């Protein structure tokens, strides 16, 4: 079922949504809604509910293996920005060819693990060869610095002795020097990354938990932050999944977050 043919009479939560129209609030380009759903049907229902409230969507590995690429193309056909959270990591030739193909598909953001210089350099070569759009519209490369689920003990188990922020900054600098467009990083690392890069360097922050969000039973994020705090620390985009996708009413949840974003004063 394509995004523009969703049966809104049967979509979960839509009767309540019609009593709270989305037209009264302007979408924020800083909000990225993560479509962390196991099936395309569930993802399409969420997109239909949110309507014009959301301009940017993240399609991650869970959905990609459940017709997620079809959903991504449908989102592009509706002029949404699409962030493919692929977290690529492989030999340089494979990363290069994968990014080249993603660039040719016309998506807007993709993630690559920023573990070393040859990996990020390969991604840049692939993007530059595969994307002929003007620079402002071409595929933007985002380096994964340190997962927000990672604790210091996790890093030690990986053989890393650096503190998480020190590691994030080092990897962000690697991306910046390789001419990546930005990084994915914890809000706790954003201020230091901004100081080490530039004001134009994109910082997308996941692990966002609005005030009042009831912690889920299987919470796997260890470094979480509210929208306002993340913006204050220097986030350009807030990647938010469960607080919207799993809310009793996703429209109300999204509206509250957008209002908080709009009310933020730097």
Average pLDDT over residues 44-51: 96
Burial class (CB in 10 A: 0-12, 13-18, 19+), 131: buried
pLDDT for res 2: 53
pLDDT for res 3: 54
Render pLDDT for 191-212 as a digit per residue (tens, 0 to 9).
999 999 999 999 999 999 988 7
Bigger pLDDT: 148 or 230? 230
Is the distance from CB of 120 to CB of 95 less than 8 angstroms? no
Is the distance from CB of 243 to CB of 209 less than 8 angstroms? yes
Is residue 7 over pLDDT 60? no
Q: Inter-axis angle of helices 164-177 and 117-130, to 10 degrees?
A: 40
Average pLDDT over residues 65-89: 95
Lowest mean pLDDT among 35-49, 113-127, 213-227: 213-227
Instruction: Name the active-site residue from 45, 58, 87, 97.
Output: 87
pLDDT bin (cut points 50, 70, 90) of residue 8 is very low
Average pLDDT over residues 66-80: 95
pLDDT for res 213: 67
Q: How far apart are CA 258 and CA 54, in angstroms?
A: 9
Catalytic (active site) residue 137? no
pLDDT bin (cut points 50, 70, 90) of residue 140 is very high
Average pLDDT over residues 237-245: 95
pLDDT for res 221: 60
Is residue 161 over pLDDT 70? yes
Domains and CATH numbers, the chain: 24-261 (3.20.20.70)
pLDDT for res 25: 79
Q: How far apart are CA 210 and CA 124, in angstroms?
A: 34
pLDDT for res 16: 32
Bigger pLDDT: 101 or 7? 101
Strands (E), the chain: 31-34, 56-59, 81-88, 109-113, 140-144, 182-184, 202-205, 237-240
pLDDT for res 223: 72
pLDDT bin (cut points 50, 70, 90) of residue 222 is low
Output the pTM of the full model.
0.87
């Amino acid at each position: 079922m394509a995004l523009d043919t969703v049966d809104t009479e049967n979509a979960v939560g839509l009767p309540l949504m019609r009593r709270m129209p989305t037209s009264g609030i302007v979408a924020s380009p800083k909000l990225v809604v993560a479509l962390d759903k196991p099936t395309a049907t569930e993802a399409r229902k969420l997109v239909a509910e949110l309507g014009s409230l959301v301009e940017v969507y993240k399609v991650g590995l869970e959905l990609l293996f459940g017709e997620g690429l079809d959903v991504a193309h449908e989102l592009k056909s509706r002029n949404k920005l699409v962030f493919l959270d692929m977290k690529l990591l492989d030999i340089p030739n494979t990363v290069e060819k994968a990014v080249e193909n993603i660039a040719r598909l016309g998506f807007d953001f993709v993630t690559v693990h920023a573990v070393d210089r040859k990996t990020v350099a390969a991604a840049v070569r692939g993007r530059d060869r595969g994307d002929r759009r003007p620079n402002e519209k071409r595929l933007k490369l985002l380096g994964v610095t340190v997962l927000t689920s990672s604790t210091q003990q996790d890093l030690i188990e990986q053989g890393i002795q650096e503190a998480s922020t020190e590691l994030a900054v080092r990897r962000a600098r690697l991306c910046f020097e390789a001419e990546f467009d930005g990084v994915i990083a914890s809000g706790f690392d954003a201020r230091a990354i901004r100081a080490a890069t530039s004001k134009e360097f994109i910082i997308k922050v996941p692990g966002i938990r609005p005030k009042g969000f009831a912690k889920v039973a299987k919470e796997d994020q260890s470094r979480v932050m509210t929208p306002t705090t993340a913006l204050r620390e220097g986030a350009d985009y807030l990647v938010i999944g469960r607080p919207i996708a799993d809310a009793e009413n996703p429209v109300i949840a999204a509206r509250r977050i957008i209002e908080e974003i709009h009310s933020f004063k730097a």
